[in-house]
Structure formats: structure tokens, C-alpha cells
Chain A
Amino acid sequence: MAEARVPTVIADELHIVYRVNGAKTGKGSATAALSRMIKRGEERGVRKVHAVKGVSFAAYRGEAIGLIGSNGSGKSTLLRAIAGLLPAEKGKVYTDGQPSLLGVNAALMNDLTGERNVILGGLAMGMSREQIKARYQEIVDFSGINEKGDFITLPMRTYSSGMAARLRFSIAAAKDHDVLMIDEALATGDRKFQKRSEARIRELRKEAGTVFLVSHNNKSIRDTCDRVLWLERGELRMDGPTDEVLKEYEKFTGK
């Protein structure tokens, strides 16, 4: 095993800093804002949030890695940085190919029909028109949208929240990825759909080189991951086999 370990993602002393406009504590009046704009210097009107502080690790081909930590500990931010969607303040992330985040919510439009959203979402993820055409029926069937009538030709705003979530997951899961990152995507839809999506995630895992999974559900982490990174306040608190890390984490959260 040792000689076949090919790294797919390497994070090297990674720091991520968010800049938030107009969230400065204290005076929020217009004059205060104006004086801040005039006194340029080191961006005074901007508040900085240091979300990830010096995280280093290497992920290898064939690994499924869980990311755990309390809310706001920097899990999702770290995923976005690995995907190259958030620029690093300091340090670097090296990747093999283009890691992708499972999720297309932002590209879809509620005023369009489900049909057009399938095509738009697929194109947004970088699929070609032919690939989408080939997968179209599969996506619709998987979502189960048409089980209760011809809903796919109706605008998405007419869907129930569960239906919309199912369609979004189906579109997102239609593409194969080298490095796949899933951000708490498992908890959508009814029981039947959850089972189906768990099966699809396992399939994606087999095809993908490396999988990252963010979840607050320790059971789904235990079921799918063989290694866990524990983040707390933007720092890597523990990195090791699932059982060891989860034991410590459960002690920490008092469960």
C-alpha cells in the first residue's frame, strides 16, 4: 500500500481570510462610512475574518475523507479553497486535475422549467450538450420528479422544497469527478430518496479519485469515510483514522 500512495490534494500551510464590507463594529452611520472611505490606508471599512489558519495535509488517491467540526469551524471554506473557488491568503493548495464541489444550486433559476434547469445546470458544471442529452433521462428518473405527473415541464418555483432539492441533487450528481467534494448534501428529500442518493454517492466514490465529505452526521461519516480531518476554529485539531478521531470528537462535544 505504501508505495502506491499517489497524492491528489496537498494543502500547505493554508490560510483563508474573508473580507466583509460594512460589517465594522461600532459606528455604522454614513459619516463614519465616508471618513473610513477617505482614510484609505489598510482598508479600514473592511472587517477581516480569518476562517482557515495554517492547515496542512495530503490526501491520496482512493481515500474518502470526512471533515468534521462545530459550526463555523471552517469546513466549507476549506472545501472551497481546495476547489480553487476561494483564493488563499497565504500558503498553497496543489491538486491533481480540477476538484469539483457537488452542488449547482446557484446556477439554477426558479422561473425556468425543470427541463431547462437540467440543461443549464449540466452546462454550468462543464458538461457538453451531448453528455447532457445522453444523461437527461437518467437525471429525471433519478430525481423522481415525474413520478407524480409531468412536473419536469413546469417552472421550478412550482415545486415543493423537497422536489426542488431532489432535482438539484440529481443534476449535481450526474457528472463524474476526479476529486469530489460533498457538503452535507446527503440530508435532502424523503427517506426513499436519501437511500437512493447514498447509493449514488458510493458510486461516485468508486469513480472518483478522492472524496471529501462535510457532515454533522457522525453516522454517515463512519459509513463512508476511512479518514477524518477535525477542524476547530480554523485549525486542524486532529487528522487520522475515522474511529480514533470520531472518538475524540464525541468526547469533545460531550456526546
Chain B
Amino acid sequence: MTAAELAAKYGLSVSGARPGLGEYVRQLWGRRHFIVAFSQAKLTAQYSQAKLGQLWQVVTPLLNAVVYFLIFGLILEADRGFSREVYVPFLVTGVFVFTFTQNSVMAGVRAISGNLGLVRALHFPRASLPVSFSLQQLQQLLFSMVVLFVVAIAFGSYPSLSWVLIVPVLVLQFFFNTGLAMIFARMGSKTPDLAQLMPFVLRTWMYASGVMFSLPVMLADHPGWIADVLQWNPAAIYMDLMRFALIDGYGNEYLPPHVWAVAGGWAALIAVGGFVYFWKAEERYGRG
């Protein structure tokens, strides 16, 4: 009797084989407590050696916003087309929302390649790692949102019904980020060099998405399609929706048409595509 026949006779299965997509989703759902606990643990561990401890969760984004305001608001005067009451919350929202995507991508690149010890020691659906890291970034953003609310109120945008829209925006952006993190997790597991390259790509993306300035205003003397294309990119879409929800003076006129459909489309496309792409290499993660 050959080994394969013997295995078949006693119902043994191939070790480390990739499960079907449905089964994989089920396994991932079974690990939800681990995913949440792991993301919270990473978040807490981050500042546990600092004297101010968890206060840094709020102070770090605040300092970030101050630096960007000094450079772009006061020195470069990039606030063309806006009053100060709109520009400051506009800038801070942009920085926080983009940082959310940026950090998810960077965490995704290292999700597998930076956790080989874990991947080689324990058995769990590997998608748990990029999902967990995106969840960590979402929790980080929620801390930043506290700062953002304070800034918005300080500049005259008071809480209103439109603030409820923040929730769907965050949900859509989280799905988009998680999909992106899974794509980069697979690429980063094969080519760890991406961790060196990605900061430059992401910075380019940031400047092209209008984090510190309004794209239509800045690109007014260029052909119209450039601003259109840049405005349709997912980072710009989620930033604009968040500003629309939060800031009183940032109305419909700043949003591209069909903005909600585009936001939903990007989220669905990248989340589903990224998940399938990641799953396709499931059995190969952790190879030397």
C-alpha cells in the first residue's frame, strides 16, 4: 500500500493544505477573538514604556496636526480658497484620514514578513494578521478622532446630524484599508524590500490626494481631467467625505459626483479582491 492510499484509508488529510474560500472565511471568523485581542495588545504595547503612557495615543496625532499647520497653513499658505475656520479642520481631517490608510499599508507590508516567528510556530488563518493590524490602526484613528472633534468645535463646526455620516465613512475606509493591507501582506511576504520602498510611494500618494490643499483650487490652471482623476482616488474620496460630514463650510460643492457609490465601490473591490489574493497564497506564507 502506498502512503497516499494508506492516508486515504484512514481519512488523513494533507497537512498545511489551503482550505476552500468558504472554509477559510469560517476559520477566520472563528479566530475573531484572537484578532481583536492581538490588535489591542499591539496598541497597548506601543506606548507602555513611555512615562505618559496611553496619553500618547492622543498627543501624537495632535502634534502631527500642529506641525502640518505650521508648515502648510502658516509658512506655505496652502489654504487658498478657504477661510481659516474651514482650512484648519480641513487639514487635520486630511492628515488623520490619510495616516489611517498609510499606516494600514505599512503594517500590512510587515504583517507576515515581520511576524515569521508567529507564522512558523502556530496554526491560524494568516489573514488574521493583516486584519488585526488594520483593526489596530482603526482603534488608533478613534483616538485621533477625539482630537479632530476638539479642533472642529474650536473652529466653529459644531456637532450636527451630518456627523453621523462619520460612521459609514470609517466603515468603508476600514474595509478598503484591510483589503489593501492584505494585498501588501502577500507582496511583502515575498519581497520584504517593499518596507523600504513603500514610504516614498505613500508620500507621493499623500501629496497627490490633496491632504493639505484643495485639489480643484490648486490645479485650476491645469487640464480639468487631472483634478478629476486625483479626486476619484480612494484616499481623496474618504478624506472628502469625512470633511463633508464634519466641517460646516465644506459642502456638497467640493465633492465629486456619485461620491458615495465610488467610496463603496473602492471598499468592496479592494476588500474582496485583496482577501482572495491573500488567500491564494495561504499555504506558502512562512517559507524561508
- A129 at the binding interface (Cβ < 8 Å): yes
- Selecting from B29-37, B147-155, B220-228, B244-252, the interface stretch reads B29-37
Q: Is the beta-carbon distance between A109 and B115 smaller than 8 angstroms?
A: no
Measured CB to CB, the closest approach of chain B to A156, in angstroms, equals: 10
Interface centre among A18, A88, A106 (most CB of B within 10 A): A106
| Known pairs A84-B15, A95-B15; A10 contacts B117 (CB<8 A) | no
| Known pairs A12-B3, A123-B34; A94 contacts B41 (CB<8 A) | no
Query: Interface residues of B toward A: which range?
Result: 35 or more
Residues of chain A in range 112-127 having any CB-CB distance to chain B below 8 Å: 112, 116, 119-120, 123-126
Q: How far is it, in angstroms, between the C-alpha of A1 and the C-alpha of B38 when the chains are bound?
A: 46
Per DSSP, chain A at the interface is mixed
Q: Is the beta-carbon distance between A82 and B10 smaller than 8 angstroms?
A: no
Nearest-neighbor residue (CB-CB) of B47 within chain A: A111
Nearest-neighbor residue (CB-CB) of B9 within chain A: A7
Q: Is the beta-carbon distance between B124 and A10 smaller than 8 angstroms?
A: no
Chain B residues with CB under 8 Å of A103's CB are 121
Q: Is the beta-carbon distance between A106 and B15 smaller than 8 angstroms?
A: no
Q: Is the beta-carbon distance between B37 and A123 smaller than 8 angstroms?
A: yes
- B12 at the binding interface (Cβ < 8 Å): yes
Q: Is the beta-carbon distance between A128 and B33 smaller than 8 angstroms?
A: yes
Nearest-neighbor residue (CB-CB) of B48 within chain A: A111
Nearest-neighbor residue (CB-CB) of B34 within chain A: A123
Interface centre among B13, B122, B283 (most CB of A within 10 A): B122
Nearest-neighbor residue (CB-CB) of A102 within chain B: B121
Q: How far is it, in angstroms, between the C-alpha of A119 and the C-alpha of B37 when the chains are bound?
A: 8
| Known pairs A104-B122, A106-B118; A94 contacts B12 (CB<8 A) | yes
Q: Is the beta-carbon distance between B121 and A104 smaller than 8 angstroms?
A: yes
- Across the interface, A126 reaches (CB within 8 A) one of B118, B124, B192, namely B124
| Known pairs A19-B287, A120-B41; A96 contacts B11 (CB<8 A) | yes
Q: Is the beta-carbon distance between A99 and B34 smaller than 8 angstroms?
A: no
Residues of chain A in range 1-24 having any CB-CB distance to chain B below 8 Å: 6-13, 17-21
| Known pairs A6-B10, A86-B120; A124 contacts B16 (CB<8 A) | no
Measured CB to CB, the closest approach of chain B to A45, in angstroms, equals: 11
Q: Is the beta-carbon distance between B4 and A92 smaller than 8 angstroms?
A: yes
| Known pairs A21-B192, A58-B3; A120 contacts B37 (CB<8 A) | yes
- Across the interface, B4 reaches (CB within 8 A) one of A7, A12, A110, A119, namely A12
Chain B residues with CB under 8 Å of A187's CB are none
Q: Is the beta-carbon distance between B12 and A92 smaller than 8 angstroms?
A: no
- B261 at the binding interface (Cβ < 8 Å): no
Number of A interface residues at 8 Å Cβ cutoff, please give it.
Answer: 53
Chain B residues with CB under 8 Å of A105's CB are 117, 121
Q: How far is it, in angstroms, between the C-alpha of A95 and the C-alpha of B16 when the chains are bound?
A: 9
- Across the interface, B117 reaches (CB within 8 A) one of A86, A106, A128, namely A106
Q: Is the beta-carbon distance between B45 and A109 smaller than 8 angstroms?
A: yes
Q: Is the beta-carbon distance between B16 and A93 smaller than 8 angstroms?
A: yes
Chain A residues with CB under 8 Å of B3's CB are 10-13, 56, 58, 92, 94
| Known pairs A20-B288, A87-B16, A95-B13; A100 contacts B6 (CB<8 A) | no
- B74 at the binding interface (Cβ < 8 Å): no
Q: Is the beta-carbon distance between A126 and B123 smaller than 8 angstroms?
A: yes
- A199 at the binding interface (Cβ < 8 Å): no
Proximity bits, A143-162, B CB within 8 Å = 1, else 0: 00000000000010000000
Chain A residues with CB under 8 Å of B33's CB are 123, 128-129
| Known pairs A56-B3, A111-B44; A19 contacts B14 (CB<8 A) | no
Q: Identify 30 residue pairs between A and B in the complex whose beta-carbon atoms are under 8 Å apart, listed by A's number.
A: A7-B10, A7-B12, A9-B12, A12-B2, A13-B3, A58-B6, A80-B120, A84-B123, A85-B121, A86-B120, A87-B284, A87-B286, A92-B15, A93-B15, A94-B7, A95-B13, A95-B15, A101-B122, A103-B121, A104-B122, A111-B48, A112-B44, A112-B48, A116-B41, A120-B41, A123-B33, A123-B37, A124-B122, A126-B31, A128-B33
Given contacts A13-B3, A94-B7, A110-B45, 5 further A-B contacts (CB under 8 A): A96-B11, A100-B122, A120-B37, A124-B118, A126-B31
